């Protein structure tokens, strides 16, 4: 029997509760757009978790994720004056981050990505991998090991809740490719987790 899954789209900023109400946030954005570094730092503190989480999962590599997180915020600072507030700041920042990661993957990233054993970097925190059982950890590592395009689509679709048409727009790939890559990612992950 087909069990329908909850299909509502996850909100872009699910996670730690934001103690600042929306109007305070938009004032922060205004001040940051006007050039106030302190306001921008506050925005940074509030959003760095989401940005870094997205980068880390899309790259599978901590040091690269850190670099790209910084790049995303630098670019956000440069583009903030043109942010018109017609979408939530978090959505705008999310899109921008995706673009930064994909841009990197397209140009410089290829050789580095191949040379780094993607799954290894995820756990470069000193603890032995064997001490950490559990499906969440295995899943993260398996995602990090996916081929780049498959990983991109899987993270955007199944983790972040993008639709294929949105992935097609932001990643510049055909909808057909997005679906094929998702299928491939899911298949590879199920195989990796079953073994």
Partner 1 sequence: MNEHQMGAEVTMKKAMFWMLVAMAAAGVAQADRAVNEARPLAADGRVEVSNISGEIKVIGWTGDGVVITGTLEDGVKDLDITSGGSRLRIEVDLEHRTRNNGSAYLTIKIPVTADLDVETVSADIWVDGVRGEVDLESVSGQIEVSGEPESLEASSVSGDVVTSVTAGRAELESVSGDIMVRHATGRLETAVVSGNIEIEGGVLDSFHAETVSGSIFCAASPSDRGRFSLETMSGRIEMVVSPNVNADFYIETYSGDIDNKIGPPARRTDEYGPGKELRFTNGSGGARISIESFSGSVKIRTD
Partner 2 sequence: MKTLDCDQVLSMLDELIDEAMEPSDARAAARAHLETCPGCRAELESAEKLLVAARSLPRSIEPEHDLWPGVVAGIEGSRVVHGTFDRPPASAARRLWLAAAAAAILVVSVSIAYMAGLEQGQPRSAEFPPTSPPQTYMEAAYGDLAVDLEQARNQLRASLDQRQGELSPETWSVVMDNLDVIDSAIGRIEIALADNPNDGRLNRQLKVAYRRQIDLLQRATRLPAEV
Half-sphere exposure of 23 (CA within 13 A, CB side): 0
Give the helix/strand (H/E) hosting 44.
helix 37-59
**Per this entry, what is the length of the chain?**
195
- Site of tokens 């054993």: 117
Told to check if 130 binds partner 1 by CB under 8 A, we report: no
| Contact pick of 27, 79, 110, 132 for partner 2 (by CB under 8 A) | 110
Work out how close the CB of 194 gets to partner 1 at its nearest, in angstroms, rounded to a whole number: 28
Smallest CA-to-CA distance from 172 within 87, 103, 113 is with 103
Told to check if 128 binds partner 2 by CB under 8 A, we report: no
Work out how close the CB of 62 gets to partner 2 at its nearest, in angstroms, rounded to a whole number: 7
Work out how close the CB of 23 gets to partner 2 at its nearest, in angstroms, rounded to a whole number: 22
Say how far apart CA 143 and CA 152 lie, in whole Å.
Answer: 10
Q: What is the DSSP letter of 6?
A: P
Q: Is residue 161 helix, strand or coil?
A: coil
Told to check if 126 binds partner 1 by CB under 8 A, we report: yes
Told to check if 17 binds partner 2 by CB under 8 A, we report: no
Sites of contact with partner 2 (CB under 8 A): 1-5, 7, 10, 14-16, 37, 40-41, 44-45, 48-50, 52-54, 56-57, 62, 65-66, 69-71, 73-74, 77-78, 110-111, 114, 125, 135-136, 139-140, 154, 158-161, 179, 182-183, 186, 189-190, 193-194
């Amino acid at each position: 029997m087909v069990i329908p899954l909850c299909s509502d789209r996850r909100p872009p900023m699910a996670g730690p509760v934001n103690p600042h109400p929306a109007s305070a946030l938009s004032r922060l954005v205004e001040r940051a757009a006007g050039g106030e570094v302190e306001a921008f730092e506050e925005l940074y503190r509030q959003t760095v978790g989401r940005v870094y989480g997205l980068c880390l999962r899309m790259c599978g590599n901590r040091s690269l994720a850190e670099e790209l997180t910084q790049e995303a915020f630098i670019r956000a600072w440069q583009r903030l004056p043109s942010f018109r507030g017609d979408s939530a700041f978090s959505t705008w920042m999310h899109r921008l981050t995706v673009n930064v990661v994909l841009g990197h993957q397209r140009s410089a990233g290829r050789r580095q990505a191949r040379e780094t054993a993607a799954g290894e970097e995820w756990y470069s925190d000193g603890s032995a991998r064997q001490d950490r059982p559990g499906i969440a950890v295995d899943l993260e590592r398996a995602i990090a090991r996916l081929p780049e395009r498959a990983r991109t689509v899987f993270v955007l679709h199944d983790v972040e809740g993008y639709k294929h048409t949105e992935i097609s727009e932001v990643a510049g790939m055909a909808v057909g490719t997005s679906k094929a890559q998702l299928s491939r990612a899911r298949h590879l992950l199920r195989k990796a987790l079953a073994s």
